[in-house]
Structure 1
Amino acid sequence: MTDAPALRPAMNLPDPTAAARAARTHSLLHDPIGRTLARLAAPNVLAMFVTSVTSIAEAFFAGLMGVNALAGLALVFPLVMLTQMLSAGAMGGAISAAVARSLGGGDTSRASGLTVAAWIIGVGFAAGSAVLMALFGRTIFVALGGGDTAVAAALSYAGVFFPGCLALWLCNGTLSVIRGTGNMGTPSVLLFVASLGSIPLSGALALGWGPFPALGMAGLALGLIAANGAAGLVAIALVLSGRAGLSMGGALGRLRGEMFRDILRVGIIASVNSVQSVLTIVLMVALVGRFGTAALAGYGLGARLEFLMIPVVFGIGTAMTAMVGANIGAGNTPRALRVAWTGAVGAAVIVGGIGAVLAVFPDLWLRIFLDASDTATLEVGRAYFRTVAPFYAFFGLGLALFFASQGAARMAWPVIASLFRMAVAFGVALVLIGRTDMGVEAVFVGVACGTVVYGAVTAAAVRITRWR
């Protein structure tokens, strides 16, 4: 009889998957921070590494099609990354944080309703982005300074990617729900397989390997969409079957307006941050476009690596979002802050280390895509890394704290820091272009200054406000 009280909580759990989910939430709330964060982040980092390899492969395939294809990819890449940042990072992080806060507070029924809200939000955003690109895509690419061939290449990619981006929104939204339960392994495996599969598929569809048609830039986009669509279907099936530890029976009936508000109040602000980050790159692309196609292609390769730092930090950041969200939901803000600083320092060290290596050896990256004969493009890329890469640690610090702030639902200062970054980067670049003969390197100095400001302001804000 003395054992009955200890057994009762387990008896009330509906099934083993719910028990496993409850155990994961307990780990987020009570296990040692460093060890737990490392355990949760490890599969994410591995999956994000493969995702980065996918982006590298995409640029490599574009390089095989010529410098104009690379220039076209440089035009469309910021908008593609914006879609991925919004679906996986901004809205995805908001979804994960909302689910984690609900589970941290013991409300599993609300977590299943949030899942349905996440799917509806994803459909709306996907439809909106497809319509906007159909209406304004050419205007955007021309405004960025692309020549006729580069614009044509960008439109070919965008014509497939944006109508098909629903696959990314549903995939990333569903994986975010699963992460919110404390399960980082399943989303990582699905992303790993999808990313690994998209590399040969994109190459085959772009270059016409074997029986596949040579679709060029459109093929690159189609491979990415198809792989993510397959991963999304598997993730949705897992959630609907209850294997994520959430009971989805009657979830539609539990849907409430406040669930949309809970996701959107963090997600919209986080989306502003993502838009500002991409807009910063877009503005820099517009400035670099003044110096010709070779400069645009060289900067595009440099900016691509900066964007690839986002998945690296994302691997750590998603674990931080879940841990911070669960602890905020449980009312333990001091532990949530310790999680934030532990993860942020780790991200800064990793990203800063990558930057330090490439500042000294930029050809480790550039020669993946360029021949020794592409001297003009190589020189631009080398100048970018010499100037910007030494300050990547500030980018890693600020972005990691951005993910932590999502978990805490305190997004104002990360967005303000991103605004400062954009203003400083563009302002410094304009001044240097107008008053010096630095040429395209003036743009890179502006990017470096903005990166430092972003990390410093975000860190100072979290330190001072302590999410009060």
Structure 2
Amino acid sequence: MAATRKSRDLTQGDVFAHMARMVIPMCLGIVAMMAVGVVDAYWVGQLGTAQQAAVQFVFPVNMAVMSIAIGLGAGAASVVARAAGRGSHDRTRRLATDSVVLSFALVIVTSAVGITIIDPLFTLMGATDAMMPHVRDFMQIWFAGIVFIVGPMIASNILRALGDAIVPSVIMVLAAILNMALDPLMIFGWGPVPALGVQGAAAATLISNMVVFVIAMAILIFREKIMDLSWPGWNELLWNWREIARVGIPASGSNMISPIAMSIAFASMARFGEGAVGGLGVAMRVEAFAIIPFFAMSACIGPIAGQNGGAGMTDRVREAFFKSFLFCAGWGLAMAVLLFAFGGMLAGLFLPSAEGRAVAELYWRIVPFTVMGYGIAMVASAGFNGLGRPLQGISLNAIRGFVLLAPLSWVIGSVYGSTGVIAGIGAANGLMAVLGVIYTLRFAPLTADNGKQRPVAPKPASAE
């Protein structure tokens, strides 16, 4: 066990080798999870238009709740990685345990509240009478089992914080395979299994995540021996929860910035017709697949920065940021060349209208050459979270989303039409690349911020 833990010590060995070892399996996990959404949409689409619309309609609410879980995961990874970097095994165990407990407590409250507000919430959002029964069927099961969906995410973040990238990726792939295998069985039924329709899609997600939840918790408890089941006392428990939330809450907010900013860009494009919106949507979806390594790198740099920052190795933290930025630049340019070359063919495959094809092709000829700026913002933000400095991270994402992308796409689009919207997105990414690199490598503090020192209870006075 000691040898295994030592082999995953991110404060030793080549920094980029650690990155590569963690990013490659993480990419596979992300691809697998993206595939689940495609498969779900296909099978539910066989049930009918109302059912498919209902499952697509719940997506924003699901993502909002999952953003909270992502934030909790970032907070857990940050405190655990910094404690591991300091070599404090007892403190690492305590923080890992309290992270899991906090996530369970919040998720149980979210589940109870969510089930009670399904009807008013989705009615307010505009769900039709035809959609509401299917929305209710899906969300009742989803909210009831959300602890099993969030649990593996928290466990995976803790494992990555300890330097293990393989097991979290295996967990993601296994959950995806089980979900995709269970979808047709639970939706349409077979043998003794009844056809559950939309409920079956939710049940497939729940069952697959229950399986990997048990596996993930068993690994934390029996292999890593990282769970401390002793009672720490309210003072220490609340103190640890506050430290986790100090990173987790800003990380949750940071995770929501890009979707909001892109919604504004879509609103700007909507002024120029449905075909233009369709072209922008397809272009961004293809781009999202092309930059999966950016998402993987952002998931991996936090533990690397956290462990090295916790150990006081700021030179290694700077090296991690620098090499991750180089990676974003290299990968982004490679994907830009491919999309530039094959954009016309892809547009013809996915888009029926000439206007949509023109918008998508123009997007792929411009934006991917600056998309490294998006990757740099993501990676820098995640690295700062790992250092316990979430305000730096959320600031970078806010600058890209609200100071650059949303205003530029709207203003330039007002002058040059759909071409201007695309130019605004590209300009925002390019400016973010320059600002992100200069700020992070020249001006940002790269030491770990461990918050206020945890108070130690005074020893009882000895009797005289």
Contact 2:94 2:227 in 1 (8 A): no
1:452 is aligned to 430
Distance 2:274 2:319 in 1: 46
Amino acid in the other structure paired with 1:465: F
Distance 2:274 2:130 in 1: 10
Counterpart check, 1:20 vs 2:4: yes
Amino acid in the other structure paired with 2:436: T
1:121 is aligned to 102
Change (3 A) 1:161 1:302: farther
1:262 is aligned to 243
Distance 1:307 1:199 in 2: 21
2:392 is aligned to 413
Q: What SS does the aligned partner of 1:29 have? A: coil
Change (3 A) 1:355 1:121: farther
Distance 1:67 1:456 in 2: 46
1:138 is aligned to 122
2:314 is aligned to 333
Amino acid in the other structure paired with 2:208: A
Amino acid in the other structure paired with 2:217: I
Counterpart check, 1:430 vs 2:414: no
Amino acid in the other structure paired with 2:22: L
Distance 1:239 1:289 in 2: 48
Give 1:94 shift.
2.4
Change (3 A) 1:451 1:125: farther
Change (3 A) 1:271 1:198: same
2:88 is aligned to 107
Distance 1:215 1:287 in 2: 40
Q: What SS does the aligned partner of 1:102 have? A: helix
Change (3 A) 1:466 1:224: same
Counterpart check, 1:33 vs 2:15: yes
Distance 2:23 2:288 in 1: 19
CA-to-aligned-CA distance 1:321-353 (integer Å, 9 cap, x gap): 222111111111111111122123224433443
Q: More deviation in 262-271 or 282-291?
A: 282-291
Q: What SS does the aligned partner of 1:361 have? A: helix
1:465 is aligned to 443
1:398 is aligned to 377
Contact 2:291 2:332 in 1 (8 A): no
Change (3 A) 1:34 1:428: closer
1:240 is aligned to 221
Distance 2:29 2:270 in 1: 33
Counterpart check, 1:198 vs 2:182: no
Structure 1, gaps ≥5 residues long: 1-16
Give 1:173 shift.
0.5
TM-score, normalised by the number of residues in structure 2: 0.79
Change (3 A) 1:383 1:151: farther
Counterpart check, 1:92 vs 2:70: no
Contact 1:74 1:297 in 2 (8 A): no
2:450 is aligned to none
Amino acid in the other structure paired with 1:35: A
Q: What SS does the aligned partner of 1:31 have? A: coil
Distance 1:185 1:433 in 2: 44
Change (3 A) 1:346 1:141: farther
Distance 2:44 2:348 in 1: 14
Q: What SS does the aligned partner of 1:467 have? A: coil
Give 1:163 shift.
4.7
Structure 2, gaps ≥5 residues long: 447-464
Amino acid in the other structure paired with 1:413: Q
CA-to-aligned-CA distance 1:31-89 (integer Å, 9 cap, x gap): 1222232223332222223223333434555676788888777655455445445434x
Give 1:159 shift.
5.6
Change (3 A) 1:292 1:364: same
2:209 is aligned to 228
CA-to-aligned-CA distance 1:150-198 (integer Å, 9 cap, x gap): 8998777656545543322211001111222222222121111112222
Amino acid in the other structure paired with 2:23: A
Q: What SS does the aligned partner of 1:100 have? A: helix
2:255 is aligned to 274
Amino acid in the other structure paired with 1:419: A
Distance 2:167 2:158 in 1: 11
Q: Taking every aligned residue pair, what percent have the same amino acid on both sides? A: 20
Change (3 A) 1:324 1:200: same
1:188 is aligned to 169
Amino acid in the other structure paired with 1:40: M
CA-to-aligned-CA distance 1:183-238 (integer Å, 9 cap, x gap): 222212111111222223335545x3756766666554443343223212211122
Distance 1:91 1:156 in 2: 27
Change (3 A) 1:434 1:324: closer
Distance 2:132 2:410 in 1: 24
Distance 2:377 2:21 in 1: 22
Give 1:269 shift.
1.5
Contact 1:328 1:408 in 2 (8 A): yes
Change (3 A) 1:187 1:217: same
Contact 1:420 1:453 in 2 (8 A): no
Change (3 A) 1:247 1:138: closer
Q: More deviation in 343-352 or 110-119?
A: 343-352
CA-to-aligned-CA distance 1:276-329 (integer Å, 9 cap, x gap): 122223434555566777666655444444555675334333332222111111
Distance 2:361 2:51 in 1: 20
Amino acid in the other structure paired with 1:20: T
Change (3 A) 1:61 1:362: farther
CA-to-aligned-CA distance 1:367-421 (integer Å, 9 cap, x gap): 88x5x75777666655554554343222122212222222212222321222122
1:11 is aligned to none
Counterpart check, 1:54 vs 2:54: no
